[in-house]
Chains A and B, each alone.
Chain A
Amino acid sequence: MTGHGHPHGPVRSEPRSPWLHGSWLRAIWVSFLFAFIAIGISAFIRYLLGFPLHGAEMQEVAATFGLTFWAIGFTVGIGCFDYWWGYIIGSPNWVQEDHSAHGAYSWRDYFKVNTDHKVIGIQYLVLTFIFFMIGGALAEGVRAELASPGTQYFSPGTYNGLFSAHATLMIFLFVIPSFAGIANFVVPLMLGAQDMAFPRLNALSFWLLLPGGLIFLASFAVGPFAAGWTNYAPLSVHAPIGDTFFTIGVQFAGASSIATAVNFLVTIVTMRAPGMSFWRMPLLVWANLATSSLVVLGTPFIAGSQFMVLYDRVMHTHFFDPATGGNVVLYQHIFWFYSHPAVYIMMLPGFGIISEIISIHSRKPIFGYRLIAFSTVAIGVLGFTVWAHHMFVSGMAPWLRIPMMATTMLIAVPTGIKIFSWVATLWDGVIHLTTAMLFALGFIFTFVIGGLSGIFLAVLPVDINVSDTYFVVAHIHYVLFGGSVFTIYAGLYHWFPKMTGRMYDERLGRLHFWLTFVAFNATFMPMHWLGLQGMPRRVADYDPRFATLNFIISIFAFVLGASTLVFLYNVIHSWARGPIAPANPWRALTLEWQVSSPPPIFNFDEPPQVVGGPYEYGVPGARHAIVTVHEPDPQFAGVATATAVAGSTLQREALLTAMKHILVVANQTVAGDALIDAVRERAGAEPLRVTVICPQNDPGGDWVTDDRQLAQATRERLDQTLARLREAGVEAAGEVVDRDPYTAVMDQVESSDPPAEIIISTLPQTRSGWLRRDLVERVRRDAKIPVEHVVVDVHQEPAAGA
């Protein structure tokens, strides 16, 4: 217990200069130093060879080396490699892992390299949401331009850059990594593991993402990449320098993705808790197993395709130049060999999230668990056999079209299985329409539409007609927004209490859902019709007969964008001031809900023993796992709330909620039997931790408080109370506070260790100064947590302690 676990972070023997140790400051100077050295070396070699040091070619070379090494330098500077580097060079300051970069002790730790999967999960989710909003703003730019025909706000080149960057950010910096963020937080907990298999690799994966995203955005400074996120050659090869930013940004986003996927595969295969057989894994874990396999097998292909474009641009390799033996269609084969499985990379984790939510919030076992798991694997396998359905009009080998149509249509079968199974799970359930559940239900509706339009697109003659029209735009938004984004929202609401330790506001959540759901359908449904009528995609200008519909679509697109602000407000406000979340607000069985909210730094004190399936709702006496919680380590106080248990080490069963924190407010009545009985009664139901406060001051001024004798007497009564509570097996602490009772209570409610319930003890109505000032009502109104009022009639009770 030496290295980790100091209340204010690990002990460090000497102050560390931010210039020389992993920090943002070092990230900035090291990244630019790396970039300048790389550009300098390449320029020097060009100089030696007699090539000019100016002009387009030099710019391409400088961009290629500068951006690549800038990004690598960033990860070095921020500190991703410090541990490995110290080990490799045998640094005398290097110490065996002391967990000093593990877990967040203050908000600042979220801005550093951290190896805790929960911290990394939240880092992912916050960063990706920022990119989601940037990508959304780009989409609003597209819709502003399309609100009427002709060109208004953007030149065609900039317009092409807007939708290219929109798609790129949404895919590589939002959907894929935000699923990685949710899985990072949840999957190790679900498995009963203490962390991911490779925590330092996990941190590196996250920190590769940020430079990748910044490179995409930086392209706007030099003229954005404008060949679509598909970056088809030869348009991309001929494009201005912005395209180089795309080809390099993809490498970092892709490397991040691959490293995370390897990490998930190893974690899921090797770090399952005892008893967690494959057939007892939650479906989210199954989904991430399949997704990670797709990423590991597929992502190298997009990396390769973009390297080939980059080489064609910078080194004139002619991979895609037909005049010198290159092949244009080859690019599309390599690109889609990743980018079609990428659709499932962006969908399977969402399927996993929905399986969790539908089962938990309708209080029923998931219908057909094994068939859903099989269908997940089937989608993963079939996903690699359908890539050329993106190329039906591309001029590829004609015979390939019908086989690809057949495999594509077969994918509808496992997808359908999932949808029917979710609906059957709802049947005869006890359905709780939480915001998470609303998004899950909304997802089923929108995804069925997206899935069905996918079948249209698989049928060759129909695809030949509508490919590259707005029908395709509608389809991909139905699967990637109505699919992926809805599931991400559902997951964020579902796990918000676990991640933050706070409850979100359900009313705002419902508002967010309905705004999103209505605006989404109103935005994208009419696009199907535009496509059928022959409006091509990726155009800034269009036939005026589509003007009215496009104007309406743009209005709803702005509403859809605004709906995000409701979510943002809800998250920020609830994270700071929402009611404290219990360990298991949804009464779920899976392991992440059996630890405190937020979970302790190392998740589990002992590996949980898994004894059954994860969705045994309604089965009498069934449980998924038995979790052992040790006596609290005082060093973790304030970090791991509510894991404390009275007495010595205690086996506590998984189905119990974690230890509850109760605030007792009393002054003259502090040792009253009625009060102590009220606390004991709660202690009988669940493990408790009690803080007793005795407010002594009264700014109202109608009684004397500055009385040492009175304070001394209160102190004695308090000590007796604490002793009696401890006898009853309750963990109790307390103090006499020098404030008026309302302020004292609210201070506790807003402290870093807030209570889950308040008991206010007063004298009977006629003799209580607190009741005369409506203390109980005011606290009930403002604290937003349960408040119980206990009346103690001191005169009826024998003198306390006598």
Chain B
Amino acid sequence: MSAIKVGIVAIIVGAIGTVAILVTPSWFPVAAAVQAHRQDDLYLALMIMSSFIMAVVTVFLVYSVWRWRARPDDLRDGPPIHGNTTLEIIWTVVPTIIVIAFAVAGGVVLVKNEQTTSQELVVKVTGEQFAWTFQYPNGVVTHELVLEKGRPTEFAITSLLHDVIHSFYVPQFRVKADAVPGIMNYTYATPTRVGKYVLICTELCGPGHSLMRAPVQVMEPADFTQWLATQKSDQSKGGA
């Protein structure tokens, strides 16, 4: 079989892999933010690219071993082929183009994910061993992260000054940022789905790291406004 035929088989295998990737029901937990959908699309594109590269390498590898496997007493040498400039240029240039394309796509998605608007909600997130605190613009402080569906939200994340690094991660939003003592770190999510999720710490922060979680809830705008107002009045009463 010539190399071209093996290449065709490899592309067919890559295409079958692509179909398998596309029909797989769930690669991720449910997507609950605009950012999550963008990440998922990028991930699928990477998976499809990988499917073809994996197929090309594996099919050529397996075919070569199957076709040219020698008995131990076979003392022949193979043909003295030292290289092929055309092939070497192809497998330098094509991967370069692929990675540049993905770098551009990644950059574009990143910039879109982090666009700020004037009506965004800013939540200050503070990590400490081993708990999360959330502060809203009206001064409300909670240990539950409550967000408004459809409203771009900026998380201004930090850690207590004498504490350690934590990391803010909501899998359903696909965004993450470290909570670092002494600096303010930002990440952005626009929730798109009402529901309850979990915020998990993803930076090793000590013995309690596994259990450092906080509840996250996305509400309809009306519910959110009401929740914020209730919290506000509760806390002023508590503080009074």
Asked whether, in the complex, the Cβ of B204 is within 8 Å of the Cβ of A427, the reply is no
State how many angstroms separate the Cβ of A517 from the closest Cβ of chain B: 13
Nearest chain A CB to B185 CB, angstrom units: 4
B69 touches A364 (CB 8 A): no
Contact between B103 and A328 (Cβ–Cβ < 8 Å)? no
Q: A455-B102, A461-B106 are in contact. Are A238 and B164 (CB under 8 A)?
A: yes
B161 contacts the other chain (Cβ, under 8 Å)? yes
Say if the beta carbon of B178 comes within 8 Å of chain A: yes
For B238, what are the chain A residues with a Cβ–Cβ distance below 8 Å? none
Complexed CA–CA distance, A429 and B74 (Å): 12
One of A173-181, A366-374, A701-709 at the interface: A366-374
**B interface residues, how many (CB within 8 angstroms):** 84
A419-456 vs B, Cβ < 8 Å mask (1 yes, 0 no): 11101101111111100000001001100110010011
A686 CA / B201 CA spacing, docked (Å): 69
**Which residue of chain B has its CB nearest to the CB of A545?**
B29
Sorting the interface of chain A by its residue count into under 10, 10 to 19, 20 to 34 or 35 or more gives 35 or more
Cβ of B58 within 8 Å of any chain A Cβ, yes or no, is yes
Asked if B210 contacts A429 (CB within 8 A), the reply is no
A614: Cβ under 8 A from any B Cβ: no
Shortest beta-carbon distance, A434 to chain B, in Å? 8
Q: Which chain A residues border B107 with CB–CB below 8 Å?
A: 402, 405, 460
Mark the stretch among A4-12, A291-299, A615-623, A729-737 that contacts chain B: A615-623
Judging by beta carbons under 8 Å apart, are B35 and A461 in contact? yes
Q: Determine, out of A228-236, A259-267, A747-755, the stretch whose residues face the partner at the interface.
A: A228-236
Q: Contacts A461-B110, A464-B176 given; indicate if A156 touches B210 (C-beta within 8 A).
A: yes
Q: Are A328 and B167 in contact (CB under 8 A)?
A: no
B115 within 8 Å of A (CB atoms) = no
Query: Is B224 positioned at the interface, with any CB of A under 8 Å from its CB?
Result: no
B78 contacts partner chain A, Cβ-Cβ < 8 Å:
yes
Q: Is the CB of A405 within 8 A of B39?
A: no
B61 within 8 A of A: yes
B123 is an interface residue with CB less than 8 A from chain A: no
A508 within 8 A of B: no
- Closest beta carbon of chain A to B96's beta carbon, Å: 5
Cβ distance A442 to chain B, nearest Cβ, rounded Å:
10
Q: Is A412 in contact with B70, judged by CB distance below 8 angstroms? A: no
Q: Which residues of A contact B79 (CB under 8 A)?
A: 364, 428, 618
Across the interface, which residues of A come within 8 angstroms of B109, CB to CB?
460-461
- Of chain B, the residue at the smallest CB distance from A543 is B198
Chain B interface main SS type: mixed
User: Assuming the A-B contacts A429-B64, A445-B61, A533-B28, are A368 and B204 also in contact, with contact meaning beta carbons closer than 8 angstroms in the complex?
Assistant: no
Q: Does A540 lie at the interface of the complex (its beta carbon under 8 Å from any beta carbon of B)?
A: yes
Which A residues are CB-close (under 8 A) to B87? 420, 424
Question: Beyond A393-B178, A461-B35, A465-B174, is A427–B64 a contact (Cβ under 8 Å)?
Answer: yes
- Closest A residue by C-beta to B6: A427
Residue of B nearest to A437 (CB): B65
Q: Is the CB of B64 within 8 A of A423?
A: yes
Q: Are B82 and A539 in contact (CB under 8 A)?
A: no
CB-based contact B54/A448 at 8 Å: yes
Complex: how many Å from CA A534 to CA B173?
11
Residues of A within 8 A of B157 (CB): 395
State which of B53, B76, B113 has its C-beta within 8 Å of the C-beta of A461.
B113
For A768, what are the chain B residues with a Cβ–Cβ distance below 8 Å? none
The answer to whether B182 has its CB under 8 Å from any CB of chain A is yes
B83: interface (CB < 8 Å): yes
A462 an interface residue at 8 Å Cβ cutoff?
yes
Complex: A322 Cα to B165 Cα, angstroms: 12
- Asked whether A328 lies within 8 Å of B176 as measured between CB atoms, the reply is no
Q: How far is the CB of B181 from chain A (nearest CB, A)?
A: 5
Is B64 in contact with A405, judged by CB distance below 8 angstroms?
A: no
Interface string of A148-184 (1 = CB under 8 A from B): 0000000111001000000000000000000000000
Knowing A156-B209, A431-B65, A534-B171 touch, does A461 contact B80 (C-beta < 8 A)? no
Chain A nearest CB, measured from B44 CB (Å): 10
Q: Are B92 and A417 in contact (CB under 8 A)?
A: yes
For A738, what are the chain B residues with a Cβ–Cβ distance below 8 Å? none
A residues less than 8 Å from B202 (CB atoms): 467-469, 536-537
A413 touches B (CB below 8 Å): yes
**Highest count of chain B CB atoms <10 Å: which of A234, A410, A540:** A234
B interface, CB within 8 angstroms of A:
3, 27-29, 35, 38-39, 42-43, 46, 50, 53-54, 57-58, 60-61, 64-65, 68-70, 72, 74-84, 87-88, 91-92, 95-96, 99-100, 102-103, 105-107, 109-110, 113, 157, 161-165, 167, 169, 171-172, 174-178, 180-185, 187, 200-211
A234-B181, A364-B81, A432-B74 known, 18 other contacts, Cβ within 8 Å: A232-B164, A232-B204, A329-B180, A371-B92, A401-B110, A409-B99, A419-B57, A423-B64, A426-B61, A431-B65, A445-B58, A452-B50, A455-B102, A459-B102, A529-B27, A534-B169, A536-B202, A617-B77
- 15 inter-chain pairs at a CB distance below 8 angstroms, sorted by A residue, are A226-B207, A234-B163, A328-B165, A364-B80, A395-B184, A427-B3, A431-B68, A432-B74, A458-B103, A459-B46, A459-B103, A461-B106, A461-B110, A532-B27, A618-B79
Q: Which 6 pairs of residues, A with B, have the shortest CB-CB distance?
A: A322-B182, A534-B171, A395-B185, A618-B77, A364-B78, A468-B202
